[in-house]
Amino acid sequence: MMLLLWAWPSLGADAGFVPLDDLDPRRAWRITTVDIEGLDVLQRFLYVPKLQTQTRAWWVFWRARPDFQPGDLQADTTRLARELHALGFYEAQTRAEVEVLRPPGPTEDDPGLVRGRIIVELGERVKVCHLDIDFGALPIEEDGIRRLRKDFAIVVGQNFTEADYQGAAQQIVDYLGENGYAAATVQRNATVDVPRRCVSVTYHAIAGRMALFGATSIDGLTEVSEGIVRNEIVYERGEVYDTRKVAETIRRLRGLRLFNIVRLVPEGIDENDEAPMRMSLTEGPPREVRFGIGYSTEDGIRGLASWTHYNWLGGGRQLGFSARISQVRRLLSANFMQPYFPARSTRSLINFTIGQDDESTYVDDFVRVIPRVEWRVAPNVDVNFSILGSYDTLSSVSDASKEALPGFVSSGFTVAPGAGIRWIKVDDSINPTKGFAVSFATDVASNAFGSDFDWYRLYADSRTYVPVYGDLVASTRLSGGTIAPYGSTTQIQFWDRFYAGGTGINPVRGYGRRRVGPLSGSDDPLGGRSVVIGSLELRHPVFGPVQGVAFVDAGDVELSAWQFQLQNVQTGVGVGLRANTPVGPAELGIGFGLNRRGGDSLAQVYFNIGPDF
């Protein structure tokens, strides 16, 4: 990279602080704090943890102050200047100063005390003024170029950063790799004109020869069989090379939970225009024991204990047992998964659960068995087939709730075959900023299968994630379902009805758990046969890993199937903070219900920390 710079005027020093060079390095010094001036709150939050200069945390006030090395503070100052330049602040100047709070005594056992600071003058950021991508004589389709430019990390008129500059080059390599060029490279150049605050960026693609997938060699296996690994490879030898298939293979192998490290790269192109693939694996422990604890205002304290074997009896079979508990749900579960059965692209699962749901309307003690077959029809599309077998027993149901549901029964068997499809295409499975997720499910209970009830149920869910401006992301959700009795059944029982409100399956923040929809005379949620939920959420980083959230939720639950009443929609609005922490996701928010009823509070405060059980 070529930089056009000029000489900077010297920065003055405040009274009480002196340049770092004025401090005698032969004397012993200790340090109280290091301040950074000239950066905003977010920038300071991100940089302070990186300081090489160590200070004493305020909560360990009884410890001695750390020794101060002037070279460490100077290194911090130099590194900060480099990081600011990488963010496009090429006018940024930094300097280190110290204030002597107490001079050193006559012996080394009586060190002096100083306070340090780094002063920053940021200046203006540079912007991209010119962008040129040169593919040479390659037969690149115009549609492909437009798609590449649409999501390109470097945009004319936007701020320039070195991370985007390097990331854009990788985008070109990935694009060429998706079109068969396994050995593609990119030459890049950026000319920064600081006086004009302007950057001219040029990329020149060197595609090399088109290639086919060659043979795949596998290294690093000890306990895991090679057959398991080869079953997860999504490309065939002789197919046109495509980095998307390489990425999908890596994703599937990591999903087995058997490997700590997965690496898959081409090793050049041979005389047959094939790119031999080399896979390097590092196996992890096949067994996992988990203990977790969390809290939410809706579930109370919740806990988890589980044991899972990810290669039980070999062949990639999984066997697991878990116990989960909260104030509204208690579960004991056993799970078994057989991969590649009945076909290579499918897997078979069975879940057995004994549990209890302790809701405000009822207590449901249940036993459930769910065999299930999942079929991956495409990298982002899964289809499943299942059979729900369940026995439920209700207690603690008020007379008012029973009267509101003619045909109420307290127990019964349910047998319901079902099917579903899910299509997910997002850039990040944990915190998506772009993409969509769509799912649809249906099941049917029938006396013909041995069920005590006859009903059919459908449910659909759609979510989108759209970058709006900068780091601002809009997330939308629209979901709905219906369950309808038929035959000899006249009523849908409490455990199979739809509920909405709070932060649960059908969330409408601003209301309590299940407080959206019809209520009994005793103010208990009755649920319904139809549900529609809509949500719009705006997310933006606040500082570090913390995101700010603003939302509008709306929902309707109706007593009848296939029904939606606009006048019954209940809406909630609110704001919150969300972050991923070492103990799991954390969220704090407040919601206001705009269509409150008798027992609803003006505001609902939501707090959640720890993994979602």
| Cα dihedral: 539, 542, 545, 549 (round 10) | -30
Question: What SS3 class is residue 256?
Answer: coil
Q: What is the mean pLDDT of residues 563-587?
A: 90
Q: Which fold has domain 287-609?
A: Porin (2.40.160)
Q: What is the mean pLDDT of residues 296-322?
A: 94
Strand partners, 322: 306, 333
- In the predicted structure, residue 384 carries a pLDDT above the cut 80: yes
- List, as one string, the DSSP characters of 446-485: -GGGT-S--EEEEEEEEEEEEEEETTEEEEEEEEEEEEEE
The structure tokens 């990081």 sit at 83
Structure confidence by residue, pLDDT tens digits, 168-221:
999 999 999 998 999 999 999 999 999 999 999 999 999 888 999 999 999 999
> What is the reported pLDDT for 347?
95
The reply to whether CATH 1.10.1240.10 applies to domain 127-206 is no
- In the predicted structure, residue 37 carries a pLDDT above the cut 60: yes
Asked if 526 contacts 458 with a C-beta cutoff of 8 angstroms, the reply is no
Output the six-digit token pair for 521.
């005379």
> What is the reported pLDDT for 8?
32
Report how far apart, in Å, the C-alpha atoms of 192 and of each of 94, 123, 376 are. Answer: 20, 15, 48
Q: Which residues does 585 contact at the CB level (< 8 Å), separation at least 6?
A: 578, 579, 608, 609, 610, 611, 612
- In the predicted structure, residue 9 carries a pLDDT above the cut 70: no
Output the six-digit token pair for 484.
């309808």
pLDDT band per the 50, 70, 90 thresholds, residue 3: very low
> What is the reported pLDDT for 1?
38
> What is the reported pLDDT for 304?
94
Strand partners, 30: 67, 113
Amino acid identity of residue 306, one-letter, is S
Structure confidence by residue, pLDDT tens digits, 195-206:
999 999 999 999
Please enumerate, as own/partner, the contacts of 282-288 that have beta carbons within 8 Å and a separation of 24 or more: 282/220, 283/220, 283/221, 283/222, 283/223, 283/224, 283/258, 283/259, 284/257, 284/258, 284/259, 284/260, 286/223, 286/258, 286/310, 286/311, 286/312, 288/257
Strand partners, 118: 36, 96
| Cα dihedral: 181, 187, 193, 197 (round 10) | 30
Residue 253: phi and psi, rounded to 5, are: -65, -40
Helices 243-255, 162-178: axis angle to 10 degrees equals 100
> What is the reported pLDDT for 14?
53
Rounded CA-CA distance 447/175 in Å is 55
Pairing mode, if any, of strands 381-395 and 363-378? antiparallel
Go through 538-576 and write b for each residue having 16 or more CB atoms within 10 A of its CB, e for each that does not: ebeebbeebbebebbbbbbbbbebeeeeeebbbbbbbeb
CATH no. of 212-283 = 3.10.20.310
Nearest to 458 by CA among 407, 418, 431: 418
Pairing mode, if any, of strands 346-358 and 363-378? antiparallel
- In the predicted structure, residue 121 carries a pLDDT above the cut 50: yes
Output the six-digit token pair for 67.
């020794």
Domain-by-domain residue ranges, the chain?
2-121, 127-206, 212-283, 287-609
Strand ordering across the sheet containing 185-193: 2-4, 185-193, 198-206, 127-134
Structure confidence by residue, pLDDT tens digits, 330-349:
999 999 999 999 998 899 99
Amino acid identity of residue 152, one-letter, is F
CA angle 602, 603, 608 (to 5 degrees): 155
- In the predicted structure, residue 451 carries a pLDDT above the cut 50: yes
Q: Which residues does 219 contact at the CB level (< 8 Å), separation at least 6?
A: 278, 279, 280, 281
Question: What SS3 class is residue 177?
Answer: helix
- Which of the residue ranges 70-74, 184-188, 430-434, 451-455 would you say has the lowest mean pLDDT? 430-434
Asked if 245 contacts 235 with a C-beta cutoff of 8 angstroms, the reply is yes
Q: Using the Cα atoms of residue 564, residue 570, residue 571 and residue 575 in order, give the sign of their dihedral.
A: negative
pLDDT band per the 50, 70, 90 thresholds, residue 612: low
Structure confidence by residue, pLDDT tens digits, 385-428:
999 999 999 999 999 999 999 889 999 999 999 999 999 999 88
CATH no. of 2-121 = 3.10.20.310
Rounded CA-CA distance 560/530 in Å is 6
Half-sphere exposure of 462 (CA within 13 A, CB side): 4
CATH topology identical between 127-206 and 212-283: yes
Asked if 459 contacts 479 with a C-beta cutoff of 8 angstroms, the reply is yes
> What is the reported pLDDT for 585?
83
